[in-house]
Structure 1
Amino acid sequence: MTGESPPIRVLLADDQHLVRAGLRIILETEDDIEVVGEATDGRQAVELTAAHRPDVVLMDVEMPHLDGLEATRRIVAAHATGGPGVLILTTFDRDDYLFAALQAGASGFLLKNGTPEDLIDAVRIVARGDALLAPQITRRVIAAFAGPASTAPGRPGTGGPNGPGQRRLAELTEREREVLVQLARGASNAEIARRLMLGEATVKTHVSRVLMKLGLRDRTQAVIFAYEHGVVTPGSAAN
């Protein structure tokens, strides 16, 4: 384990025993990761999350009694601040799962055909409070939300010019709004720093303030928010 930092506490939620066993073996080879429990369905995932307070929940989508998407909603709702990050892990590369997972409050979406290194990196990213979205998935989010409203599954309205989202937007400084635009284009902190000629530490501070002022959990929600509220318009994502 690096330094004196406590290990990352992970809860596994999957109805297949062999999958859980494989995930445990991969994760527990790392000194900074500890598997604290295993759930066989979504209902148990919610219960064990409350009992063990993990940092990350690895959540399958299709499970008995309660599916992973509804379990994610319940976990996020019960732990609005300081709760675990939920990393959706599935074999299904489907847009309906992707959007439902993001709308449920998931912090990441990872396909089971990834490598062990991908999984370990994903757990660490989500544990430190960042969102994980593979580049190809980010492009799909942008494509859906940059198009007509009817093409974005479950896309809510902006609430009009006087809606709560627009009022929160008005609280952003000019620089914070520029950072939000870059987030919506899928830029990393390093890319934002280069484009806006800022230090990466300064960018990180701006990102945190943007998320706080807009009441968002992570960068993924910032992408969706920016398109929903007209901060970025169709065709501007590549600029």
Structure 2
Amino acid sequence: MATLDVALFMENEVLRRGLEDMLRSSSPVGIVRNCENFAEVETCVRSADCDVLIVSGSARARVGAIAAGGERRRPKILLFVDESDVRAPEVLADLPVDGYLDQRELSAESLSETLRRITVGDIPMPVALAKSLLAHVGGQSAPASRCAVSLTSRERQTLELLAEGLSNKQIGTRLGISQHGAKRLVTSVLLKLGSPNRTAAVMTALKTGIIDFSRSG
């Protein structure tokens, strides 16, 4: 994996400083930028040097503005989530982020793996978040909408694996196909469901009753 330029945008100074130290000792990371306000984030994004922007807390309210800034190249956005997010995951569905990391699972290993996944096009999502999503929305499905979207059997399998929070590589292994083949299936599912990310895709499938997730997880 190429050396990464990573920026931090979070109001919790303890978390920010600890994460900064962890990132500086991570082999994939070359530069760590500490953004104390949104103006500094905008400067970082406009420079097109930032590869990954890590966001948490109230700073997430500005994620939409970052993603819609119109720059030719924006950083991948990694959102830190906590216990309150896992209890109410629906608020995350429409955020234009590229991955999630549960603060309770934070370690040098989990951070490095999440950065690796996000840079190869995966949208990492903690299993706890996926399961919470299933539990929260599972009873709100609408069977009458099942015919609104037509998925192939492979796409349905892929959707179930997305709900388990699996990466493209893991999906490929479970389906017996290549990682690139899995990525194509995931992209197809997101396009058919009109979803900006994996979380939104799972929510859409649950709400519309496209597929029965009762056996998942």
Q: Same fold (TM over 0.5)?
A: yes
1:231 aligns with 2:210: yes
**Distance change in 2, residues 1:25/1:79 (3 Å):** farther
Q: Which AA in structure 2 matches 1:203?
A: A
Question: 1:9–1:36: 8 Å Cα contact kept in structure 2?
Answer: yes
**Distance change in 2, residues 1:99/1:48 (3 Å):** farther
Instruction: Give SS of 1:20's match.
Output: helix
Q: CA deviation at 1:35?
A: 3.0
Aligned to 1:210: 189
Question: 2:26–2:108: 8 Å Cα contact kept in structure 1?
Answer: no
Aligned to 1:131: 123
Query: Counterparts in 2 of 1:154-169, with a 5 A limit?
Result: 161=145, 166=148, 169=149
Aligned to 1:153: none
CA distance in 2 between partners of 1:47 and 1:102 (Å)? 27
Task: Specify which of 84, 90, 102 is matched with residue 94 of structure 1.
Answer: 84
Normalized per residue, the structure richer in helix is: 2
1:220 aligns with 2:199: yes
1:28-50 superposed Cα distances (whole Å, 9 cap, x missing partner) = 22332133522113454345333
Aligned pairs, number: 215
Tell me whether 45-54 or 119-128 shows the greater mean CA deviation: 45-54
Aligned to 2:19: 23
CA distance in 2 between partners of 1:8 and 1:52 (Å)? 12
Q: CA deviation at 1:58?
A: 0.9
Give the percent of matched residue pairs that are identical in Structure 1 and Structure 2. 22
Q: Which AA in structure 1 matches 2:91?
A: A
* TM-score, L = length of structure 1: 0.70
Tell me, which stretches of 5 or more residues in structure 1 are unaligned? 62-66, 150-156
**Distance change in 2, residues 1:45/1:101 (3 Å):** farther
Q: Which AA in structure 1 matches 2:4?
A: I
Query: Counterparts in 2 of 1:1-239, with a 5 A limit?
Result: 5=2, 7-42=3-38, 44-61=40-57, 67-78=58-69, 83-89=74-80, 92-95=82-85, 98-106=89-97, 107-111=99-103, 114-148=106-140, 161=145, 166=148, 169-170=149-150, 172-189=151-168, 192-193=171-172, 196-233=175-212, 235-237=214-216
Tell me whether 100-109 or 178-187 shows the greater mean CA deviation: 178-187
Question: 1:87–1:110: 8 Å Cα contact kept in structure 2?
Answer: no
Question: 2:134–2:213: 8 Å Cα contact kept in structure 1?
Answer: no
Q: CA deviation at 1:234?
A: 5.8
**Distance change in 2, residues 1:85/1:215 (3 Å):** farther
Instruction: Give SS of 2:216's match.
Output: coil
Structure number with the bigger relative contact order (C-alpha 8 A, sep ≥ 6) is 2
Instruction: Give SS of 1:103's match.
Output: coil
Tell me, which stretches of 5 or more residues in structure 2 are unaligned? none
**Distance change in 2, residues 1:193/1:40 (3 Å):** closer
Q: RMSD over aligned Cα, in angstroms?
A: 3.5
* TM-score, L = length of structure 2: 0.76
Q: Which AA in structure 1 matches 2:47?
A: A
Q: Which AA in structure 2 matches 1:27?
A: L
